[in-house]
Amino acid sequence: MAQDRKIALITGANRGIGLETAKQLGEQGVTVVVGARTRKTADETAASLKSQGIDAYGVQLEVTSAADRTAVAKYLGEKFGKLDILINNAGVGSSTGFTNVTSQVEDAELERIFSTNLFAVVSLTRELLPLIKKSDSGRIVNLSSILGSLTLHADPKSPIADFKSFAYDASKAALNAYTIHLAHELKDTKIKVNSAHPGWVKTEMGTDAAPMEIPDGAKTSVALALLGPDGPSGKYIHLGQELPW
């Protein structure tokens, strides 16, 4: 493996946008480490990518597991000595879709969604930041959603005004806050941190009603992962366009 090859870790990479992101990065010469909840699934995903000519490796990474996070950091450090790209792609949606009533959202639902969509992202990024700091051009991409935009939710005329799913929306708004804060902390480094809205995509979460195909849904993550030195940091992006927080 060439020493200058970029190394990327994508969480939740065994299907949907995560898998397509790994594929598109791999096609651009990036070594991809695909994380999945089980080692078997991760290895099968990596093997499929390898069959397409992509340099891929699988790791067991249930993002809410502290043991898995530590093991992945150890593996990346020993095998590659650095991490150039971290794509925090893994996420969960509401168990009731958009049929829930905000005042009736239960603690268990909030805890379940925030555990994956926020707390695991913060913990995994903290674990891997020492390796990202060893990169010449570290990139952290947090998979958010337009449903995390407080500005658009507060506007009764916005296209998402009636799409209220409090636990999920709040988790993505909090993730956006993390992006802003981490980007500020790292502003004097070469590391760039951004939130990505992939779009409404035909995935298990997005359903077949979504207008975007999976390959298009991965484009924002891939572009942010491969930003040049003059690219943005601390921004909320969809297909090259900045979204309101």
Residue 126 phi, psi dihedral angles, 5° rounding? -60, -40
Percent of the chain whose pLDDT exceeds 90: 85
Are residues 5 and 30 in contact, defined by beta-carbon separation less than 8 angstroms?
yes
Residue 117 phi, psi dihedral angles, 5° rounding? -75, -20
Domain ranges in the chain are 7-242
Number of H helices, E strands in the chain: 9, 8
Rounded to an integer, what distance in angstroms lies between the CA atom of residue 104 and that of residue 93?
Answer: 17
If phi over 0 gives left and psi between -120 and 50 gives alpha, with beta otherwise, what is residue 199?
left
pLDDT in tens, 69-94: 999 999 999 999 999 999 999 999 98
Task: Place domain 7-242 in its CATH homologous superfamily.
Answer: NAD(P)-binding Rossmann-like Domain (3.40.50.720)
Question: What does the pLDDT average to over 39-66?
Answer: 98
Among 78, 170, 186, 169, which residue's Cα sits nearest to residue 125? Answer: 186
Rounded to an integer, what distance in angstroms lies between the CA atom of residue 237 and that of residue 144?
Answer: 9
Type of residue at 79: K
For tokens 């309101």, what's the residue?
244
Among 190, 241, 186, 245, which residue's Cα sits nearest to residue 219? Answer: 241
In the prediction, which pLDDT does 51 show? Answer: 98
pLDDT in tens, 183-194: 999 999 999 999
Rounded to an integer, what distance in angstroms lies between the CA atom of residue 55 and that of residue 23?
Answer: 10
For tokens 């990346």, what's the residue?
76
Are residues 55 and 7 in contact, defined by beta-carbon separation less than 8 angstroms?
no
Helices (H), the chain: 16-27, 39-50, 66-79, 107-114, 120-132, 150-154, 166-185, 214-217, 219-225
pLDDT in tens, 96-125: 776 678 999 999 999 999 999 999 999 999
Burial of 132 (0-12, 13-18, 19+ CB in 10 A): buried
Catalytic residues: 168
| Token digits of residue 104 | 């009736």
pLDDT of 59 above 70: yes
pLDDT in tens, 140-158: 999 999 999 999 999 999 9
The DSSP call for residue 244 is: P
